[in-house]
Amino acid sequence: MQHKLLIRLVDAEYAITRFTIGSAIPEWLHGPGFWTVSSSREEMTLVCRAARVPSSVQSSLGWRCFRVEQHFSFDVPGVLAAVLDPLTTAGVGVFANSTFSTDYVFVAGSDLEKAVQALKDYGHELTT
């Protein structure tokens, strides 16, 4: 099943940051817009708007965020793949994240135009 999605380009630059396991979640993380904390046995990763991240924090800056505007139940296959497949075909690297309700896909700012075109060519509707 090929999903045609409504995808919003979030009007903000994002950062993907790295912390050691057991680090306290910093106060600056909390604020408007999408943000998330992921932890594994190797590291803790925070994603948030780049403007909030202090320069002393190990981070990758310049990421742009696409948000899938529809909500699907967990048993619907292929939703995230419908975003990732055209980006992969276009040679765009991604960082993906999901919430209970939807998916977020981040691309490097330098690949933004290529990503937008790939998603449109696939048949997705993009909005800002």
pLDDT one-digit tens code per residue, 75-99: 888 899 999 999 999 999 999 999 9
The domain spanning residue 101 has which CATH number? Answer: 3.30.2130.10
State how many domains the chain has: 1
Q: Which domain holds residue 107?
A: 6-127
Question: What was the pLDDT predicted at 31?
Answer: 87
Name the band, by pLDDT with cuts 50, 70 and 90, for residue 73. confident
Q: Is there a domain that residue 44 lies in?
A: yes
Q: How many CB atoms lie within 10 A of CB 54?
A: 9
What string of H, E and C letters represents the secondary structure of 43-76?
CEEEEEEHHHCCCCCCEEEEEEEEEECCCCCCCC
Q: Is there a domain that residue 23 lies in?
A: yes
Q: Is there a domain that residue 1 lies in?
A: no
Q: Is there a domain that residue 57 lies in?
A: yes
Name the band, by pLDDT with cuts 50, 70 and 90, for residue 1. very low
Question: What was the pLDDT predicted at 56?
Answer: 95
The answer to whether the pTM exceeds 0.85 is yes
Q: Is there a domain that residue 115 lies in?
A: yes
Q: Which residue type sits at 77?
A: P
